[in-house]
Structure 1
């Protein structure tokens, strides 16, 4: 790992969701990014954040983390669907604002699980509101939070993708963990699939126009036992470090 200054990454979360998640999982996530070489700043998107775009643009990278369902009103879904779980429109709006600010600033973005779904919706895509009910799936995508500590199924990573690059050049089939009941139905405009599960569900997406990667699994929870998860976190942090260095080269001595 380089001895250059640690890049500062912002990690979105919901203080409401955090109340329902084992604190050890949250600690593992923060420790994972720290082990990968980053300094972390948490962004509570459950509460109104009028200056979130300004804060985001001063970071070196952005992580959009997991959590509850995205408001289906944002993609033309049924807002009264009984399968919906814990919608938080304030979080949706804050994370979309942070995402747009990061894209405008050219920051590397890693979106995880719900984050992938939020990114897809932000780019005009849609979601299956419940995979078991709305899609014929052969893979198991959801068990319980404790299952995040071990792989649950596999995905095929596209060669020459940014995801493959952040995985240290690894492509093809890798094992991933999983804990989600929704997934991508229609891919957002300008996005491409970079990982697909055995049952055909898109589980990795990215933007050729931006340093943006989104995955449906949870590398921030699997990294203590899985080399590919560690590589993905490290690859993202390395991209943030390179972006920080490039910014410093353009404006010597200036803070982002």
Structure 2
């Protein structure tokens, strides 16, 4: 799980912190029955070695946005937070995880990171687009209201997400984002759309393992929502399968005769 880079403190005494949101870690621990792991201060060149040590990747949401230079644009709103240190690692993680068959779950910013890592681009302000909804949360509302279901998404029949929703054609999701997919990344398949046509979930054409990304926040009290529960349960099953394969490979290596 990636670290967010934030300055915390006031009165001119802000200090750098590396953060992981409780709700993401708790969803992995409770919903996927797995131990959350962070690698603080990891760099892009560390990614292959670090992926060999884990059984899955969750790219979390964040208050920050992917820097638009990664899809060839200038910053449209300089008041919005960025996190280029996170970008460096997560964009490398996406490509390496897919190449290595490491189970991958993207949430909100993570959904956008996956799209950008695969050559896609983002609308920097969905609410400013004609005919589009305002997908941002009500900032002054209580947190429970911010994470309450806001709009429907239509699911692609036959997709993994459709199966996890037990065949429901439409589900309701929360919505706490200002950006969204503009140009779809290579190898991605849209599997959920908002009423305004915005892509809300993607799967991967040739994924070697569980690979799903959603624009909403299934980590929020995932045990209270059937689809969120199903998403994290399926992710947990995928990482246990990878763990079993890694253990079998290790046993086979240990049993192999030494070269003379």
Fold-level similarity (TM above 0.5): yes
Instruction: Report the 3-state secondary structure (helix = DSSP H, G, I; strand = E; otherwise coil) of the residue aligned with 1:30.
Output: helix
2: CA distance, partners of 1:219 / 1:158: 18
Alignment of 1:13 with 2:13, yes or no, is no
Structure 2, unpaired ranges of 5+? 10-19, 255-260
Aligned with residue 65 of structure 2, among 59, 69, 75:
69
2: CA distance, partners of 1:102 / 1:128: 25
Instruction: Report the 3-state secondary structure (helix = DSSP H, G, I; strand = E; otherwise coil) of the residue aligned with 2:233.
Output: helix
The answer on whether the counterparts of 2:126 and 2:135 sit within 8 Å (CA) in structure 1 is: no
The answer on whether the counterparts of 1:128 and 1:183 sit within 8 Å (CA) in structure 2 is: yes
Structure 1, unpaired ranges of 5+? 1-10, 20-24
- Residue in 1 that maps onto 2:243: 244
Report how far residue 97 of structure 1 moved. Answer: 1.6
Report how far residue 49 of structure 1 moved. Answer: 5.9
**Change in CA separation of 1:65 and 1:247 when aligned onto 2, cut-off 3 Å:** same
The answer on whether the counterparts of 1:132 and 1:181 sit within 8 Å (CA) in structure 2 is: yes
Aligned with residue 192 of structure 2, among 180, 195, 199:
195
2: CA distance, partners of 1:18 / 1:43: 20
**Change in CA separation of 1:248 and 1:57 when aligned onto 2, cut-off 3 Å:** same
2: CA distance, partners of 1:84 / 1:164: 37
Report how far residue 56 of structure 1 moved. Answer: 1.8
Report how far residue 252 of structure 1 moved. Answer: 3.0
Report how far residue 116 of structure 1 moved. Answer: 0.8
1: CA distance, partners of 2:247 / 2:224: 35
The answer on whether the counterparts of 1:148 and 1:222 sit within 8 Å (CA) in structure 2 is: no
**Change in CA separation of 1:173 and 1:119 when aligned onto 2, cut-off 3 Å:** same
Instruction: Report the 3-state secondary structure (helix = DSSP H, G, I; strand = E; otherwise coil) of the residue aligned with 2:224.
Output: coil
Instruction: Report the 3-state secondary structure (helix = DSSP H, G, I; strand = E; otherwise coil) of the residue aligned with 1:195.
Output: strand
Aligned with residue 132 of structure 1, among 127, 134, 144:
127
- Residue in 2 that maps onto 1:225: 224
Instruction: Report the 3-state secondary structure (helix = DSSP H, G, I; strand = E; otherwise coil) of the residue aligned with 1:174.
Output: strand
- Of structures 1 and 2, the larger Rg is shown by 2
2: CA distance, partners of 1:83 / 1:201: 24
